[in-house]
Amino acid sequence: MENGQIVNVSNLVKHFPMGGDHFVALKGIDLTFATGEFTGLVGPSGSGKTTLLNLIGGLDSPTEGDVSVLGMQLSGSSHGARAELRRSSMGFIFQTYNLLPVYSVYENVEFPLLLNNVPADERKKLVTQAIEWVGLTDKMKSRPAALSGGEGQRTAIARAIVKEPTLVLADEPTANLDAENSHHVMKILVRLNKELSTSFIFATHDEKVMGYLRRILNLVDGKIVKDEIVENPEFKG
């Protein structure tokens, strides 16, 4: 699947009900993502970045058009099949982190592995490693409520990558990180992308993140206005 398609989006339209009317968040999007991409959706606030990521992840359903991910057509699929796909192959980094409040950092990161029945010793190794990557080893036992914004975000990143998924959807993963941490985290993601061919789709405003991207999709008002390949990213990881 080195050069195969991982995501295919065709004629994607998304309406949100608004009063008696509706708001058109995505206005017919056609896109293809290949395995191993390191791509970013950029655009002003409200342009539809999060909406598009949610549709790709099967967390929401489109008004029109279709998404297929890893060969699965989402609109024809059952709820359970989509959950299964997320569980086995996708990692999410939410703009709002969405950590499980009663779990520690360690338990939050461990959770996707529990769902995938990863054996205990391997689980421990993977969790410890992911937490180390994002530099939270000393916060392992903290609950989300006791974390700073950046620490919460790094926990969310560790949780998304711990199972080494095929596809990571990352919504503003660096919004709350300082420059140093942003670069540190991005370098880890680039490494995962290189070593495991993990595909990444970002939604971001962050110049630092853009500096790592190898493809930039410009989204304005629910439409792709520019699809550009970056031959020589500013930062190499």
Ligand X SMILES: Nc1ncnc2c1ncn2[C@@H]1O[C@H](COP(=O)(O)OP(=O)(O)OP(=O)(O)O)[C@@H](O)[C@H]1O
- Residues found near Mg ion in the complex (CB under 5 A): 50
Pick one of Mg ion, ligand X, other proteins, none as the site partner of residue 80 (Cβ within 5 to 8 A by kind): other proteins
Determine, following the binding rule CB under 8 A, whether residue 60 of this chain makes contact with other proteins. yes
Listed residue (223, 227, 204) closest to 40, CA to CA: 204
Determine, following the binding rule CB under 6 A, whether residue 163 of this chain makes contact with ligand X. no
11, 23, 96, 194: which one contacts ligand X (CB under 6 A)? Answer: 23
The token duo for 134 is 């994002």
Amino acid at 208: K
Pick one of Mg ion, other proteins, ligand X, none as the site partner of residue 25 (Cβ within 5 to 8 A by kind): ligand X
1, 4, 16, 164: which one contacts ligand X (CB under 6 A)? Answer: 16
Closest approach, Cβ 4 to other proteins, in A, equals 22
Distance CA 84, CA 99 (A): 20
Listed residue (37, 82, 80) closest to 193, CA to CA: 37
The token duo for 160 is 């998304």
Closest approach, Cβ 52 to ligand X, in A, equals 7
Distance CA 135, CA 140 (A): 10
- CB neighbours of 213 closer than 8 A, spacing ≥ 6? 38, 39, 40, 202, 230, 233
Instruction: Say if CB 33 and CB 6 are below 8 A apart.
Output: yes
8, 63, 88, 128: which one contacts other proteins (CB under 8 A)? Answer: 88
Closest approach, Cβ 13 to ligand X, in A, equals 12
User: Pairing mode, if any, of strands 223-229 and 215-220?
Assistant: antiparallel
Determine, following the binding rule CB under 8 A, whether residue 5 of this chain makes contact with other proteins. no
- Would you say 10 or 98 has its CB closer to other proteins? 98
Determine, following the binding rule CB under 6 A, whether residue 50 of this chain makes contact with ligand X. yes
Determine, following the binding rule CB under 8 A, whether residue 22 of this chain makes contact with other proteins. no
Distance CA 114, CA 124 (A): 11
Binding residues among 99-138 for other proteins as defined by CB under 8 A: 99-103, 107, 111-112, 114-115, 117
Bridge partners (DSSP) listed for residue 168: 91, 200
Determine, following the binding rule CB under 8 A, whether residue 79 of this chain makes contact with other proteins. yes
Determine, following the binding rule CB under 8 A, whether residue 198 of this chain makes contact with other proteins. no
Closest approach, Cβ 196 to ligand X, in A, equals 27
Distance CA 32, CA 27 (A): 16
Applying CB under 8 A, which residues contact other proteins?
54, 57, 59-61, 79-80, 83-88, 90, 92, 94, 96, 98-103, 107, 111-112, 114-115, 117, 159
